[in-house]
Structure 1
Amino acid sequence: MHALHDYVAKQLADKIKSRRVVVWYDERGEFRPFVDEVRGGPRAASEPVTVGVAGIKASLAEYAGSLFELRAVVEPLVSGDTPDSVIIYVPGIARDRRASVLMEQEKAGTTWEPQLKQLAKNVLLQKYTLGVVDEMLPFDRKVSYEDLARAAAGNAGAEPPSILKSIFHDARGNDGLLTAWLVSDARDAEIVSKEATRELIKLVKARLGLDLAADSPLSKLRAIVLRYVLAGEFRLDLSCDAPASLDSVAKPPTKDEESAVRELARRLRTGHADTYAALADRVEEELGLKNAKLPSGALGAIDTFRFEERALLRHAGDLISNGKFGEALALVANREQSFWLDRDVSRKAQWEASRRMAELGNVAMEVRKAVNMTSGDPAAWLDAYVSKDGWFRLDQAQRRLEAWVANLDEEPEERPLGVVRRAHEDTCHAMAEGFTKALVKAGWTVPGALHQTRVWSEIVADKPKPVAYFLVDAMRYEMGVELAERLPKTSEVSVRAAVGALPSITPIGMAALQPGASASFSVVEQGGKLGARIDDSFLPDLASRKKHAAARVPKLVDLALDELLSLQPSKLTKKLDGAQVVVVRSQEIDHAGETGFTFQARQVMDTVIDNLARAIRKLAATGIEHAVVSADHGHLFFANDRDESMRTDAPGGNTVELHRRCWIGRGGSTPPGCVRVTASALGYASDLEFVFPAVSGVFRAGGDLAFHHGGPSLQELVVPVLTVRTRARESAPPSAGPIAASALPDVVTNRIFSVTFTFGGRQMMLDATDIQVRPLLVAAGRQVGAVGMAVDAQFDRASGCVRLEPNSPVTVAFLLNDEDVVSLRVVVQDPATDAELYRSPNDIPVRLGV
């Protein structure tokens, strides 16, 4: 036999295997020679005959003028519960889809209506390129089964086998061949020497509909085809008129050829990414598209050229600037997997900044609307702030944006950033104004709320011992919620809100968290110093508070967060041996904010949350499973210094202390926009008076006024109280497979850099599943950076975890949050156990700005 017979037989055999009964309509009688080949000669009788088709035995029944006779002939073969394998061949008539005499047989089995030219084309494409096949099988020329059989067999008179296929022997199909030619001129000399240029031109015409001049050099032909393909995809993706510079580039004439252009462009991007970038840049330059005046919203879903990504990012900025935050979020979501972004972490970082800007704007508008509709006592305001989807999300979105922007080498566009910052500030202003009015009206009490002075007596003291007590300076409520999300899923965690003591400054808030504060607590002046008094103890500073706690709590160990993280596990265990309460102090947030380094403070805030989670897990490994985390106060934090209009003159009088958000003293005046309250009204045994800005303004107190606290806003006064139980676990890596890292930097020169991780290897089981991991940056036992983005993977922004599929590389972008480190390691942890699944083999030097 021959290749065409074998191919047709294989298609027919598949039908028989699938349905047993095949009703084969051959309206033009094209396949009669094939049926004669199967039968072994001309038809000799009306009864069915047994034949072999590609190794399958079947009964062949043929139409000879009467469909009723044909149905009667095959009835005995198909009437049983399991019909025989039967081919019912019906040449010369068309199938009647509504009233076929053979309808019963068609429903019981299947119908087949093949086209001879199409089947022959499939066979011929195994030997020839598309252009040659189209010449052999022109649309308007009638060819017989015998003609096609000879061509498929390569007999005399047929076209010689494809020269191009022999040159591009490693390419799959016509599109693979064209792609290989477009990305490289390495085989041009062979194409010329073997006289295959004509065949290449035929292929381009047949597949893409593009006419090429046969006398042009291959380099010119390649440039023409590249422009045609890339400009074609770009034009097809536009929802507006194409720029005039594309008028000189031909258009694909048919829908099929448009699809071919799209497919070839896709293959270039996905299979030859590095080369594609250079080719696309060259075509973009040739067509002058950088300067094209196109509506950004009309650029479509595919970024063929680099300029599109930048134009769309500007469009996202314009949407944000005009308050269309939802539209901006949708645009960013649609572009997360753009070719250009996946290859350039710095550009992806700019899009991530736009996403965070749009999220902040969106939340600010939602919260502002809710604030305007809120009334009632302070408890109603507190509930609105701390509920599951409460107003604290505004603070969270703002911190995430500012932390991200602080790590960018190039800040986002000024206008959209300014718009969302203003939206945030305006909403904070409205929240502070409404909550302060409610506090004044309620006599400065929040009915039913947990007060900060009861945290020790009602929560810490009741915990099984040993227990860790984390005192985090300036951690606001939203940061506590995020800390809970970053703890292992196996931890038992609860978060509740406590109302801080006024004024919301460190000496007062930290004293309120001390033992005995629930029974006796006042804010007083003694010896010219401001502090809290618990019973007979005056607590103006850290030293006095440590002395007070040590006297009241037996077997207490007090250490700083940095010290805890830096200690080796064995030394930490020894230090904590016999301890009943371990006080862990963190001053990083307040220190960075108060020292006036606004930029550094924005970076530090995220790092502190990660390091607190790390410390809790580290203590659990030593046997201290229970922990309570709280704060002395929260904070208001803006990107820039307060405008002059937001600054207020101090009350004067007898000033004991002046802070940005509170005046403590006696007498003086109450400036416009401020509220005054006596210490006795707050329940303190003192003659002091306090004056606070009623909204989000500040006193003229010197220093950087971007970060401040001391007042009665929700952000300053509401602090988180986390109770955590983290059982110690074996730190053993999973047996599913190893994690490998590639593209590790030799030196870290930017705060944002990428690393590629691959989970698994050749030894992986075939049924291996994905795993969730936590990649991070570590230096001297501390976490100094985390993942900010991931390419081709699920990324949980709250927990910092990335999902890795077996043997699928995933690129993550790290954010370095501590600029003072001299070197770091890249670490991948199991988030459930803290077990290290990967650690970079050497310290990586950090030289920012190099």
Structure 2
Amino acid sequence: MSTPSGPVSAFLEQKLLATLNDKKLVLWLDAEGTYTAFVDELRKRLEARRFPVPVLAFRGSFLELMLALENEGTPLDKPLLLVHVPGYNNLPSQQSPSSVRGTPLLELYSSAHLFQQNLVSLVSDAANGRRPLADIEAFVAAPGLSLASADAWLADSGAPAVDTHAESISRLSAPELVNRLTGTDAANLQEVQSALRAHAETLFGTDAEWFKFVPELTEGVIAWILCVEFVHDLRRPPRHPALARLKDLPEKTVQRCQQEAARLRQQQQEQYRTWALGVESWLRDPENTEPKDLGRIDTFQFEALTIYRGAVQALADGDYAQALRWVEAHEASQGFWVRQEVPRQWAWTLVGDAARLGVALQGAPRPLERVTGLEEAVQCYTEAAAPVDLAHRHFEQRHAALYGPLLPELTALDQAFERLRFAWADWANQLARDFARVCHEHGALPPPELRQRNLFDQAVLPLLGQDEKVALFLLDALRFEMALELRDELLGGGVQVDLRARLAELPTVTSVGMNVLAPIERDGRLTPILKDGRFTGFRTRESSVTRPDDRVKAMGTRLAGKDPVHLSLAEVGELSAATLKNKVRRASLVVVHGTEIDQAGESDFGVRIFGSLIRDIAAARHQLELAGVQQFVFTSDHGFLLQRGVRTQQGFGSRGQADRRYVLSDTERTDTGHLCVPLSALHYEAPGFLVFREDTAEYDAGRPPGSFTHGGNSLQERVIPVLHVSRKRAAADTGLRFALECEPASAAMGVQRLKVRVVPARRSGQAPLDFASSQPVDVMMRVADGSDVRMVVKDVVGAEAVVQPTGFRLRPGTGEWAEVYFVLEGAVNDRLPIELALSGDPAMKVSPATTYPVSYVPVARKEPEAREPVAEAAPAPAPVVPPAPPPRTAGGWGETLGDPDAGRVFDHLQQFGSVNEAELVQLLGHPRKARAFAARFDTFRDKLTFDVQVVITADGKRYQRL
């Protein structure tokens, strides 16, 4: 295919071909007949088979054109077709006699893609990046503009120049020009400065007026690029007078500036930081931005700070949707400035989880308001309210891991989080009251298909009749929203899941819920064992059921074959694959008891590990599947209320008479705000009444309230999951094994760091495999000696890396390192080793060759109580006296180091102790000198008589004398 004669024509042809490839059938309305000669030339090239697309043209006869269209056939026959119609427009026929709608081409007009091209726009776009904007504007404004004259004019711009330097510079692309400017010392640019400036005007639109404002060439070009990106991301007109005209730049010029700004952030991070802070020093105050003014790109640091403060304020104001929009915009932009400050990343993560919880609360304000029965209440909870509880747990898990004194705007965050917690508490209280109303009206005992006592016979026994092995997981305190997360963990790879809900028996305590999971009911009735006003189990005709072994034995009475195999969740994870397979080989039913969730919750650190425990359950299912189990049922004895920061206690009778969430009474109670249920109404063979609060508060049970509680009648406590998992085809062990690699890294702001990656394991005599697995793996982190010191994983940075409460998730085989941020907490002052292990292969362990300090945290640590009176202020501690500055050198550091600029900086540090980036620019008089100092900083450190540390703060980099 031959090329058109001129550069503008070539640009037009490429635009036409792109439109044809996208739209197939194109109708070109050329109202002024500007392009008739161009189209005739295309037709000649078509006849000579030098143009790839059929071209038809109206040249005075619609009949000829219609016949030509018939000869071309349908668009199916000719997938690409261009029809040129000069002298006509697409205005309504009543408004213009030249409307194509009043011609025989109306049907073509209705089905084809309409193409129209303004000549001024065409020439401007074609010349953009090849001629200065001022030259382009002057040319298109001159009389007699035509396609031919534009071709000739733009072709002249490529004519050889006399100055060979200017010629070579004029051929640089935008990245090449910027690299030349940023990678060359200013003194070496003097000889070609005029050529560089001229080419910058061509590519980026800079002009003489801008260089009067920012005279230095490199600084001026970089500042222009950053300001163009800033102005076109701004949601209002810029206020700084030097930026107003940047809004009118052509689109292609703007895109070129945006691309270069993004490239500089990615490839020259340290230099970009200094450039941006230099521009920000004169831009920030005139702009005086508010969060609503800013777009999705944080060109300057003050934008990132403004958006963050706006998101925190939106949380505090209860405007969760707006906070979430800013969070999502931040996540999409992968903010440059936030990545420079790890605690700010954690803060953004917390704000995001808080905003998602707030949005969930506002999306389901009162799920049970119009509910008229227990079945409907359960359905409304699982569909509308359980996702709110899931979001609440996720927020509290993240808060437990990331919250600390390093978070920016900590006071404002505390206020926002307090408001959010109270909002959830109000929502949960209303939900509990609405459910209590339903129970008042319809009773607390659901129909048989929703009863916990019928679960074994209705959900497990039918699976045992299919000649397949079944594993029944009895998981203490696995509430329904946790099963939602577990379900999502198990989805994929041919796995089929079915999640349903039932109502736990009352009261929602382990001694009731766990024991009724065994088939002990008779004619729908239960005989509880009561001791000292507490439920301890149930009695059948043959025996008592109070312990795990009793439950398994009761289940065995329903089986025709071998007794069930009884394992703990920990055993399934610890046993080797061969041992586990041998244990379950002859059994049709495997009963797995897991108490880890309840134990973690009762010890008041459950939110730190709930997510990890859910993944342990998923890993146990996988291990059993490899051992030959085909069907799985996951259920629990009860749920729980998670009330961090909003706990309240109410008295009932004498102190200690009540349990935390219920009272077993000999007499009926009609106290306001309480639900009284006769044991007989629950089909219990026992006298007495159960009394529950209608809200989520605890009774005064003689001990401080905890953040994890159960026993009551709230839906969080009563709705339990019944998750059935199967696979069409049994899973096979692929034999693929992975190995862990780790490298220690220096601590940052009191947080430990470790580089980790997961690679395919090398077998004996085999070369290492080199591929990435499609399935991620979970890596657990823990203290190696198994002490009471806790591992708290705060964040993980890396491609596709996801933080988890006691570890993280990585995609193996990519070869990329992930950076893990963590701390050790405990009541010791020591340094301890840590170890990492694969969740699915606990034998695969690795330990870094170093130890890590333990942050001292007392064992008896209590959560802060909500709405408590402020305690009397403690005496102020004695002021900390900073270390005296080291003795000054004679003649100053400039003479010692042989560098006057560096000398001024270190003299300042010696006298005052610190200097930030903005002060550094002011001290040295120019951003370029500040960049030069930063680049040479490490070469000076060994010559100093004191240590200097570089700290990343909210205001940028700070040099701190130690």
TM-score range, shorter chain: 0.7 to 0.9
SS of match in other structure, 1:496 = strand
Quote the offset at 1:30 in angstroms: 14
Quote the offset at 1:502 in angstroms: 1.6
Matched residues in 1 for 2:475 and 2:719: separation?
Answer: 13
Name the structure 2 match of 1:830.
none
Name the structure 1 match of 2:715.
714
Contact 2:314 2:323 in 1 (8 A): yes
Structure 1 length normalisation: TM-score?
0.72
Name the structure 1 match of 2:928.
none
Which of 471, 476, 481 is the equivalent residue of 2:479?
476
- Equivalent residue runs for 1:300-339 within 5 Å: 300-339=295-334
Contact 1:121 1:133 in 2 (8 A): no
Name the structure 2 match of 1:180.
179
Quote the offset at 1:475 in angstroms: 1.0
Contact 1:748 1:848 in 2 (8 A): no
2:578 paired with 1:574? no
SS of match in other structure, 1:629 = strand
Quote the offset at 1:560 in angstroms: 1.8
Quote the offset at 1:624 in angstroms: 0.6
Shift in CA distance, 456/324, structure 1 to aligned 2, threshold 3 Å: same
Which of 289, 298, 307 is the equivalent residue of 1:294?
289
2:643 paired with 1:638? yes
Contact 1:469 1:581 in 2 (8 A): yes
Which of 255, 262, 267 is the equivalent residue of 2:248?
255
Shift in CA distance, 217/426, structure 1 to aligned 2, threshold 3 Å: closer
2:461 paired with 1:467? no
- Gapped regions of structure 1 (runs ≥ 5): 39-47, 58-66, 84-93, 760-769, 828-833
Name the structure 2 match of 1:762.
none
Name the structure 2 match of 1:531.
536
Name the structure 2 match of 1:383.
379
2:563 paired with 1:562? no
Contact 1:777 1:825 in 2 (8 A): yes
SS of match in other structure, 1:504 = coil
Shift in CA distance, 137/364, structure 1 to aligned 2, threshold 3 Å: closer
Matched residues in 1 for 2:35 and 2:458: separation?
Answer: 93
Name the structure 2 match of 1:628.
633
Contact 1:507 1:539 in 2 (8 A): no
Shift in CA distance, 744/274, structure 1 to aligned 2, threshold 3 Å: farther
- Gapped regions of structure 2 (runs ≥ 5): 53-58, 74-85, 90-96, 761-771, 827-832, 856-962
Contact 1:504 1:711 in 2 (8 A): yes
Matched residues in 2 for 1:137 and 1:758: separation?
Answer: 61
Name the structure 2 match of 1:774.
776
Deviates more, 1:433-442 or 1:839-848: 839-848
Deviation track 1:48-101 (CA, whole Å, cap 9, x = no partner) reads: 9999999789xxxxxxxxx99xx9xx99x9999589xxxxxxxxxx9687879x
Shift in CA distance, 748/205, structure 1 to aligned 2, threshold 3 Å: closer
SS of match in other structure, 1:252 = helix
Question: 2:222 is matched by which residue type in structure 1?
Answer: L
2:229 paired with 1:233? yes
- Equivalent residue runs for 1:509-658 within 5 Å: 509-517=513-521, 521-526=526-531, 530-535=535-540, 536-542=542-548, 545=551, 554-595=562-603, 597=604, 600-640=605-645, 642-643=647-648, 646-651=649-654, 658=658
SS of match in other structure, 2:536 = strand
Name the structure 2 match of 1:88.
none
Question: 1:487 is matched by which residue type in structure 2?
Answer: L
SS of match in other structure, 1:468 = strand
Deviation track 1:457-512 (CA, whole Å, cap 9, x = no partner) reads: 22223323422111111111121232222213322222222221222111221111
Matched residues in 1 for 2:250 and 2:597: separation?
Answer: 60
Matched residues in 2 for 1:547 and 1:49: separation?
Answer: 92
Matched residues in 2 for 1:546 and 1:141: separation?
Answer: 96
Matched residues in 2 for 1:849 and 1:228: separation?
Answer: 49
Name the structure 1 match of 2:358.
361
Shift in CA distance, 12/687, structure 1 to aligned 2, threshold 3 Å: closer
Deviates more, 1:141-150 or 1:609-618: 141-150
Which of 507, 512, 531 is the equivalent residue of 1:508?
512
Quote the offset at 1:226 in angstroms: 2.8
Question: 1:720 is matched by which residue type in structure 2?
Answer: P
Quote the offset at 1:452 in angstroms: 1.4
Question: 2:698 is matched by which residue type in structure 1?
Answer: V
Shift in CA distance, 284/562, structure 1 to aligned 2, threshold 3 Å: farther
Name the structure 1 match of 2:387.
393
Shift in CA distance, 54/529, structure 1 to aligned 2, threshold 3 Å: closer
Matched residues in 2 for 1:401 and 1:327: separation?
Answer: 18
Matched residues in 2 for 1:278 and 1:258: separation?
Answer: 26
Quote the offset at 1:848 in angstroms: 8.1
Quote the offset at 1:315 in angstroms: 1.9
CA RMSD of aligned residues (A): 6.1
Name the structure 1 match of 2:835.
823
Contact 2:324 2:355 in 1 (8 A): yes
Question: 2:732 is matched by which residue type in structure 1?
Answer: E
Shift in CA distance, 385/757, structure 1 to aligned 2, threshold 3 Å: same
Matched residues in 1 for 2:36 and 2:438: separation?
Answer: 90
Deviation track 1:24-52 (CA, whole Å, cap 9, x = no partner) reads: 999999999xx9xx9xxxxxxxxx99999
Shift in CA distance, 356/378, structure 1 to aligned 2, threshold 3 Å: same
Question: 1:521 is matched by which residue type in structure 2?
Answer: L
Greater RCO (CA < 8 Å, at least 6 residues apart): 1
Which of 398, 403, 421 is the equivalent residue of 2:397?
403
Matched residues in 1 for 2:497 and 2:45: separation?
Answer: 75
Contact 2:508 2:713 in 1 (8 A): yes
Quote the offset at 1:615 in angstroms: 1.3
Question: 1:296 is matched by which residue type in structure 2?
Answer: P
Matched residues in 1 for 2:378 and 2:124: separation?
Answer: 76
Question: 1:610 is matched by which residue type in structure 2?
Answer: R
Q: How many residue pairs align between the two structures?
A: 772
Which of 722, 729, 732 is the equivalent residue of 2:731?
729
Contact 1:318 1:416 in 2 (8 A): yes
Quote the offset at 1:426 in angstroms: 1.0
Matched residues in 1 for 2:484 and 2:372: separation?
Answer: 25
Name the structure 2 match of 1:192.
190
Shift in CA distance, 323/11, structure 1 to aligned 2, threshold 3 Å: closer
Matched residues in 1 for 2:9 and 2:235: separation?
Answer: 47
Deviation track 1:649-708 (CA, whole Å, cap 9, x = no partner) reads: 45569x5xx531123465798876444445444333334553322321111231442110
Contact 2:350 2:398 in 1 (8 A): yes
Quote the offset at 1:548 in angstroms: 6.0
Matched residues in 2 for 1:509 and 1:307: separation?
Answer: 55
Shift in CA distance, 729/280, structure 1 to aligned 2, threshold 3 Å: farther
Contact 2:367 2:431 in 1 (8 A): no
Matched residues in 2 for 1:791 and 1:275: separation?
Answer: 19
Question: 1:502 is matched by which residue type in structure 2?
Answer: L
SS of match in other structure, 2:622 = helix
SS of match in other structure, 1:690 = strand
Shift in CA distance, 601/125, structure 1 to aligned 2, threshold 3 Å: closer
Contact 2:478 2:597 in 1 (8 A): yes
Question: 2:225 is matched by which residue type in structure 1?
Answer: V
Matched residues in 1 for 2:115 and 2:321: separation?
Answer: 52
Deviates more, 1:601-610 or 1:225-234: 225-234
Matched residues in 2 for 1:155 and 1:626: separation?
Answer: 74
Deviation track 1:512-549 (CA, whole Å, cap 9, x = no partner) reads: 11243456632223599741123153344556656766
Shift in CA distance, 547/27, structure 1 to aligned 2, threshold 3 Å: closer
Shift in CA distance, 29/534, structure 1 to aligned 2, threshold 3 Å: closer
Name the structure 1 match of 2:258.
265
Matched residues in 2 for 1:604 and 1:120: separation?
Answer: 61
Name the structure 1 match of 2:436.
436
Contact 1:532 1:540 in 2 (8 A): yes
SS of match in other structure, 1:337 = helix
